[in-house]
Amino acid sequence: MRTLREIKKIYENKEANVKEVVESYLEKIKEWEPYINAFLHIPYEDIEKQVKELESKSPNLPLYGIPIAIKDNILTKNIKTTCASKILENFIPPYDATVVKRLKENGAIIIGKTNLDEFAMGSSCENSAFGPTKNPWDIERVPGGSSGGSAACVSAGEVPVSLGSDTGGSIRLPASFTGVIGLKPTYGLVSRFGLVAFASSLDQIGPFGRTVEDIAITLQIIAGHDPMDSTSSPYEIPNYLEGLGKSVKNWRVGIPKELWYKGVSEEVLKTLENSFDVFKEMGVTIEEISLPSLEYALPVYYIISTSEASSNLARYDGVKYGYRDFTAEDIISMYKQTRGKGFGSEVKRRIILGTYALSAGYYDAYYLKATKVRRLIRMEFEEAFKKVDIIASPTSPVLPFKLGERISDPLQMYLTDIMTIPVNLAGIPAISMPAGFYNNLPVGIQFMSSFFTEDKLLQFAYAYQQFVDFSKKYPTLPNKERV
């Protein structure tokens, strides 16, 4: 259970070699997995190959010998990528996603693929076709979704860092529920080439870690223009580590009244009260702001995301790759039966919603109008960042809930993401930090900043972690009686 810098120190002092460090993490995975089901695949043969290949590489690489877990909707060459769906159960990609390629080039060991809600659709990690992931702090509760596996494995100490994807809060919500840090970068900062698309205008890959420094190191590797992704920005990447430790005195923190209090549980508010005292100790000023269009964020998000999902998932028809139903008597029946048996209920629900919103006669009323409101939300954020440096809000309105508690009520489940969705609609960066615990359950606080100001966001988050640091607080292995 070490940070990236601590693992590097071990190598520098020759206290252990890469094989020994990787084996120690595999042992930790072996201990925890029967309880939390964070991983879908551990590619033991490929790990051995990666460790051997590192022998010919420089130990000065920034991620040399660091075990990293990858969400199972990000392509990994010769390692299964299922998106936690039956329809891709046996799919083995022939190439790596750009982020995976960059991690490997910088010395990282891809130690496994993590569980998620099927095709990243969900807020609890219960929609996986291969069983839910459980929260390491209480295995009767959800870890949040959709990147629940990537968050839970960092929380339990199975890996120091992992990657997830965030379409409406899928990194930040599970980070909040499991007591770790999760960053959703600016849209276009990190290449999406090799990320299985859910909603293309909202998806973004980002890291999980236990310290802001680990997040900054990982972001430094995966950020940057990629000619393979037409939405990738040519923005010049700054040194994200340079600002860590610098003062944030006199910075202005905006508190949007639309994201505090209304709909937020007493338990979450009580835990976050302490953050205002921390802000004062940091020397920042607090200002109440208003983002009035946020009340429309949830419906706008579900119209746009389901519309794009219905289009993106049309490719899974049993013809090109993945599962095919061979009992069908004709091609139309084959399409229907393949998709009917291959997709889970949440994915089907979103495909139907999206197809309806895009259908003739409804496109202007739903999709087009939603994109216009999205523009308003983005403009309000732009105006807000002319007045304040950082915007703060709870990451989740509620504590981690129990498995099965919301699965039969889609609206209640969708409301879990109400604090995180506006960030994806605007395209700005945001980070979730552990802010405290309520009855041993983690509570997260979300910080947002303007476009491509991840350096500023990380500087603020680092300063906050100097006062509120839970990086050494780990859940304990559950007793067998609790399983």
Catalytic residue, candidates 71, 104, 113, 184: 71
For 70-127, how does the pLDDT look when each residue is reduced to its tens digit (9 = 90+)? 999 999 999 999 999 999 999 999 999 999 999 999 999 999 999 999 999 999 999 9
Q: Please answer whether residues 174 and 134 qualify as being in contact, where contact means their C-beta atoms are separated by less than 8 angstroms.
A: no
Per-residue pLDDT, 320: 85
Catalytic residue from among 85, 123, 128, 146: 146
Q: Which pLDDT score, from 0 to 100, does residue 480 have? A: 55
Per DSSP, the three-state class of 193 is coil
Q: Where are the domains of the chain?
A: 1-482
Query: Which neighbouring-strand residues pair with 184?
Result: 430
Q: Check 170, 275, 293, 449 and give the catalytic one.
A: 170
Alpha carbon separation from 170 to 123, 173, 230 (Å, rounded): 7, 6, 23
Tell me, yes or no, if 170 is annotated catalytic.
yes
Q: Is 449 a catalytic residue?
A: no
CA dihedral 350, 352, 357, 359 (to 10 degrees): 150
Query: What's the pLDDT score for residue 115?
Result: 98
pTM for the whole thing?
0.96
- Residues in the chain where the model's pLDDT stays below 50: 481-483
Buried b (16+ CB within 10 A) or exposed e, 143-169: bbbbbbbbbbbbbbbbbbbbbbbbbbb
How much is the pLDDT for 482?
47
What pLDDT, on the 0 to 100 scale, is given for residue 262? 82
Domain over 1-482 is classified CATH 3.40.50.150: no
- What pLDDT, on a 0 to 100 scale, did the predictor assign at position 148? 98
The per-residue pLDDT for 407 is 87
